[in-house]
């Protein structure tokens, strides 16, 4: 079997429609919860290559997926730049803050950042050595805007108001912070590729926060700079961009940033993905994680609409956002089986 994900991303006809799920390694899996309870902390898991490798592989043992995604977090970069990071039970991440030029200047850069992230590269190498031939290894980082928003807010926040204000004003320190994140993130992805990542994804989870002009300046432009640098260093390595909740901003995003594929959230109609977006880029998405919890007929219909609307050679089937802890494993099995069934039927009809 070919590597279906890599085939789609490089313009070849895949042996089948590739499937993976954002956050596919995580708390909906009992084997993840068990290991996580033994280790005690999420960050300990991320920084222990043997365990991070094990967790990365867990979903692949259960489901017939086409990609593994490195087990790590987008907030490891700000931590490696010198900010304190912890994950409190039920509260999400708590991160040191940057809110002025002094804060930006105090951040570490260059080799010391990569040195602290060395265990992640170790994990990538271990996973690469263990994957089945048809499975593609995805590396990732957060996009500058999304990571900056956590650095400015000091963790999760209801509406990211302080970060959005800095973006709207175009403060000098905010621009300097974005620039620092562009260069650190490119070095980080580049190291992941050197260690064995075959595709990289840039998560701009909060792209939908930005008004149209700010979206261009703080999501599209920094991602475009990252892609240009990555393509220069690693010409053949595909990049997936995920400007979540970008709305009309999805159109032209691939053209303006140079990404090979665009991840879309569940609000976007499959018809539009098939008729419009998939003509300009490979499309990744966009089953609603809540529909995956619902399962049954609702899930079947959602899968059918998507596989009917978007051709397999231009599609990476995924969720519109990360899978959530209460998702029944049987529903994931049902989704994967349904996709395979639908595509098999199409293939035998043509
Ligand atoms: O997709 C994967 O399976 C790979 C691993 C991965 C994680 N986080 C593991 C994780 C990836 C790709 C991420 C990305 C990430 N992290 C994003 C972008 C994607 C998105 O969901 O929008 C963001 C915004 C973060 C920051 C983050 N990490 C938050 C806000 C939280 C707390 C919320 C939560 O679900 O607990 C995390 C923790 C986190 N990252 C967990 C996992 C498996 C749960 C940690 C635990 O075991 O308690």
Say whether pLDDT at 350 is over 60: no
Question: Would you say the CB of residue 140 lies under 6 angstroms from ligand 1?
Answer: yes
Q: Whose CA is nearest to atom 44 of ligand 1?
A: 26
Ligand 1 mean position, distance from CA 106 (Å): 26
Q: What is the pLDDT of residue 1?
A: 86
**Given this model, what pLDDT does residue 76 score?**
98
pLDDT interval class at 250 (50, 70, 90): very high
- Ligand 1 lined by 27 (C-beta under 6 Å): yes
Task: For 80-132, write each residue's pLDDT tens digit.
Answer: 999 999 998 888 999 999 999 999 999 999 899 999 999 999 999 999 999 99
pLDDT of residue 119: 98
How confident is the model at residue 78, as a pLDDT? 98
Question: Considering the entire predicted model, what is its pTM?
Answer: 0.97
Which residue of 35, 57, 73 sits with most ligand 1 atoms within 8 Å of its CB, as the best mutation to test the pocket?
Answer: 73
CA of 87 to the centre of ligand 1 (A): 10
For 174-192, write each residue's pLDDT tens digit.
999 999 999 999 999 999 9
Region 24-32: mean pLDDT is 98
The first and second tokens of residue 94, run together, are 């708590």
pLDDT in the model for residue 56: 98
Q: What is the mean pLDDT of residues 139-144?
A: 99
Which pLDDT belongs to residue 349? Answer: 63
The alpha carbon of 157 and the centre of ligand 1 are apart by a number of angstroms equal to 15
């Amino acid at each position: 079997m070919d590597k279906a994900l890599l085939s789609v991303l490089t313009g070849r006809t895949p042996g089948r429609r590739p499937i993976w799920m954002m956050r596919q390694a995580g708390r909906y899996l009992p084997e993840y919860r068990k290991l996580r309870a033994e280790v005690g902390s999420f960050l300990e898991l991320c920084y222990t290559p043997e365990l991070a490798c094990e967790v990365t592989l867990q979903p692949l043992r259960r489901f017939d997926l086409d990609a593994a995604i490195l087990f790590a977090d987008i907030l490891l970069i700000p931590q490696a730049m010198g900010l304190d990071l912890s994950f409190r039970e039920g509260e999400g991440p708590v991160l040191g803050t940057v809110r002025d030029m002094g804060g930006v200047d105090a951040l570490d850069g260059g080799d010391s950042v990569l040195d602290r992230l060395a265990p992640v590269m170790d994990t990538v190498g271990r996973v690469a050595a263990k994957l089945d031939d048809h499975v593609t290894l995805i590396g990732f980082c957060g996009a500058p805007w999304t990571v900056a928003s956590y650095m400015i807010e000091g963790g999760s926040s209801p509406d990211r108001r302080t970060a959005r204000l800095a973006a709207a004003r175009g403060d000098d320190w905010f621009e300097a912070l974005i620039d620092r994140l562009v260069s650190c993130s490119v070095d980080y992805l580049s190291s992941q590729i050197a260690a064995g990542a075959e595709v990289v994804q840039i998560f701009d989870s909060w792209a939908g926060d930005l008004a149209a002009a700010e979206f261009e300046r703080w999501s599209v432009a920094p991602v475009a700079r990252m892609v240009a640098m990555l393509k220069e260093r690693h010409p053949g390595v595909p990049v997936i961009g995920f400007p979540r909740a970008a709305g009309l901003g999805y159109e032209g995003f691939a053209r303006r940033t140079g990404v090979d594929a665009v991840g879309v959230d569940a609000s976007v109609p499959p018809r539009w993905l098939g008729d419009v977006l998939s003509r300009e880029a490979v499309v990744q998405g966009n089953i609603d994680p809540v529909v995956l919890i619902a399962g049954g007929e609702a899930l079947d219909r959602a899968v059918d609409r998507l596989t009917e609307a978007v051709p397999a050679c231009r599609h990476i089937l995924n969720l519109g956002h990360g899978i959530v802890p209460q998702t029944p494993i049987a529903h994931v099995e049902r989704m994967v089986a349904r996709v395979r069934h639908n595509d098999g039927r199409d293939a035998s009809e043509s």
